[in-house]
């Protein structure tokens, strides 16, 4: 049960949140101008990171804000949360690929 730091409400249990997948994937400005492969890249391709990963969460049962979290996908360590539009915090050097 993750303890997720909502940038507004503070730490709350995972049950109050919804997962929103990889962060920083902006919807293309003008989709009509994209080739099929470029559009498919936006639609389907994700990095599937092992280690620290920027991802989106929605505090769905709380303040209903979307925000970003840096989480280690191996250890579930959360390094920090930041609001939409803010810069991510510095990643720890260690990749955290625990066994």
Partner 1 sequence: MAETPWITPAAAIAESFPDGLKELGPRVQVNLRGDVTDSTFVNAVKTATGLDLPDAPNKVAAGKECKALWLSPDEWLLVGEGEAASLVQSLEEALSGQYVAINDVSANRTIFEISGPYCHQVLMKSSEVDFHPRAFAPGNCVQTLIAKSQAIVEQVGREMFHIYVRNSFSRYAGAWLAEALVEYSETS
Partner 2 sequence: MTQAFRTTSGGRIDRRKAINFTFNGQSYIGYEGDTLASALLANGVHLLGRSFKYHRPRGIVAAGAEEPNSMVQLGEGATTEPNIRATQISLYEGLTASSVNVWPNVEFDISAINGLFAKIMTAGFYNKTFMWPRSMWMKLYEPVIRRAAGWGKAPTQTDPDIYDHMHLHVEVMVVGGGPAGLMAALAAGRAGARVLLVDEQSEFGGSLLSKKRQIGAKDEAGWIADMAAELEAMPDVTLLSRSTAFGYYDHNYLCVLEQKTDHLPAAERKGKVRQRVWHIRAGQVVLATGAHERPLVFADNDRPGIMLAGSVQTYVNRYGVLPGKKMVLFTNNDAAYEAAIDLQAAGGDVVAIIDCRHEVSGELVDAARALDIEILAGYAITGTSGGKRVESVEVRAIQKGAKVYTSAARQIDCDLVAMSGGWSPVVHLFSQSQGQLEYDEEKVCFLPGKPRQAQQVAGALAGQFTLKECLAGGYKAGADAARATGFTPKRKPAAPEIEEPDLGGIEPFWIVPGSRPIGEGMAKHFVDLQNDTTAADIELAVREGFESVEHIKRYTLTGFGTDQGKTSNINALAILSGILDKPIPKVGTTTFRPPYTPVSYGALAGRNLGDWSDPVRVTSIHDWHVENGALFENVGQWKRPWYFPKAGETMHEALNRECLAVRNAVGVLDASTLGKIDIRGPDAAEFLNRIYTNAWAKLGIGRVRYGLMCHEDGMVFDDGTTARLAEDRFLMTTTTGGAASVLDWLEEYLQTEWPELKVYCTSVTEQWATVSIAGPKAGAVLKKLAPEMDLSHENFPFLSFKEGTVAGLKARVFRISFTGELSYEINVPWANGLALWEAVMAAGAEFDITPYGTESMHILRAEKGFIIVGQETDGTTTPQDLGMDWIVSKKKPDFIGKRSFTRSDTARPDRKQLVGLLTETPDDVLPEGAQLVFDPNVPKPIPMAGHVTSSYYSAALGRSIALALVKGGHGRKGQKIFAPLEGKTVTAEIVDPVLYDKEGERLNG
Kindly list the residues in this chain that would bind partner 1 in the complex (CB under 8 A). 8-10, 12-13, 15-16, 61-65
What, of partner 1, partner 2, none, does residue 63 touch, CB below 5 to 8 Å by kind?
Answer: partner 1
Q: Using the minimum distance from each CB to partner 2, give the nearer residue, 3 or 89.
A: 3
Q: How far is the CB of 27 from partner 2 (least distance, A)?
A: 5
- Reported residue count of the chain is 99
**Residue 16 C-alpha from the chain's centroid:** 16
Q: Mark 16-39 as b/e (b = at least 16 C-beta within 10 Å).
A: bbeeeeebeeeeeeeeeeeeeeee
Helix (H), strand (E) at residue 5: strand 3-6
The residues binding partner 2 (CB under 8 A) are 1-3, 13, 18, 20, 26-27, 30-32, 34, 36, 39-40, 42-43, 56, 58, 60, 64-66, 75-76, 78, 84-85, 98-99
């Amino acid at each position: 049960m993750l303890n997720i730091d909502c940038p507004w409400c503070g730490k709350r249990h995972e049950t109050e949140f919804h997962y929103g997948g990889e962060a920083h994937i902006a919807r293309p400005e003008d989709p009509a101008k994209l080739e099929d492969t470029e559009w498919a890249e936006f639609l389907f391709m994700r990095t599937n990171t092992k280690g620290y990963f920027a991802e989106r969460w929605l505090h769905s049962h709380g303040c209903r804000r979307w925000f970003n979290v840096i989480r280690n996908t191996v250890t579930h360590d959360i390094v920090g949360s930041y609001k939409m539009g803010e810069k991510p915090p510095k990643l720890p050097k260690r990749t955290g690929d625990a066994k």
